[in-house]
Amino acid sequence: MARLQSCPPLAIRSGHDGWLIDESGRRYFDSVSSWWVNILGHTNRRITEAIVNQANELSHVMLGGCTHEPAVKLAERLSLRTGKHLGHVFFASDGSSAVEIALKQCFHAKAIQGQTARTRFACLRNSYHGETIGALSVTDVPLFQDSYRPLLNDTFIIDSPDTRLDNEDAALKALADLLEKQGHQLCALIIEPRVQCGGGMSMHSSDYLRRVRELTRQ
Ligand SMILES: Cc1ncc(COP(=O)(O)O)c(C=O)c1O
């Protein structure tokens, strides 16, 4: 509450392109795109028109038992982006929900294969995957986790690669050790590909990802 008084929230009235305008007309450059949601700019005309056109046609219908053309088109475009390697799309409403769904699907797939002992997930040290309970369990940022520790699942945290530290081989060795010793409990490993933003923009090579896939396939 003290912080709220000393640093009250900005009352924003409108936004255009990269700028936010407050109630008194003062302009602020939105350098984080309001937490990277508005990367194409505020009140982007094409996006606004598409939302209005769609809302006039069909604002929402459940995807349980129904489908509609925009959902099919988006699914097909996403699949194309993977070279049609991934042929099924499950829509979520935000990043954390997408992570929850992915974790559940991995567990479900293992359970169907009869591998019910695989109840644990692994993530990279300092990784960030969201703040719902499952997503927070595969996050390694104490600031977000500390208040909820007793609610979180017991996740394997493995060393993170970081090109600045030239440690990809060591990070792969840590993964190989985990797989050897506790792989039988592992359901899935979650990685933010190429750059771990929450870990201070630590980057890794696509070769690291390829080698991770080889190890997890074995
Ligand atoms: C890598 C990663 N995963 C998951 C999330 C969670 O997304 P959301 O904030 O939409 O729940 C974020 C959010 O920044 C993210 O950067």
Q: What are the residue ranges spanned by the domains of the chain?
A: 2-57, 106-217
Mean pLDDT of 40-69: 96
pLDDT greater than 90 at residue 131:
yes
**pLDDT tens string 186-205:** 999 999 999 998 888 999 99
Please state which CATH number belongs to domain 2-57: 3.90.1150.10
**pLDDT of residue 92 exceeding 80:** yes
The closest-lying atom of ligand 1 relative to the alpha carbon of residue 192 is: 1
Task: Return the pLDDT at 3.
Answer: 83
| Mean pLDDT (whole number) for 140-159 | 97
Does the structure show a pLDDT above 80 at 1? no
Q: Which class does domain 106-217 fall in?
A: alpha beta
Mean confidence (pLDDT) of the chain: 96
Same topology, domains 2-57 and 106-217? Answer is no
pLDDT digits (tens, 9 = 90+) for 3-43: 888 999 999 999 999 999 999 999 999 999 999 899 999 99
The pLDDT score that the predictor gives to residue 14 is 98
User: Residue with the nearest Cα to atom 9 of ligand 1?
Assistant: 95
- For residues 96 and 5, the model is more confident at 96
The CB of 95 under 6 Å from ligand 1? The reply is yes
38 CA to centre of ligand 1 in angstroms: 14
- What would the mean pLDDT of 40-63 be, rounded to a whole number? 97
Report the residue among 128, 138, 195 best suited for mutation to probe ligand 1: largest number of ligand atoms under 8 A from its CB. Answer: 128
**Each residue's pLDDT tens digit, 97-120:** 999 999 999 999 999 999 999 999
Q: Mean pLDDT throughout 160-183?
A: 97
Q: Do residues 167 and 199 touch, judged by C-beta distance below 8 A?
A: no
Q: What is the pLDDT of residue 198?
A: 84
Judge if the beta carbon of residue 30 lies within 6 A of ligand 1.
no
The pLDDT score that the predictor gives to residue 209 is 97
Give the mutation target among 33, 197, 202 for probing the ligand 1 site: most ligand atoms within 8 A of CB: 197
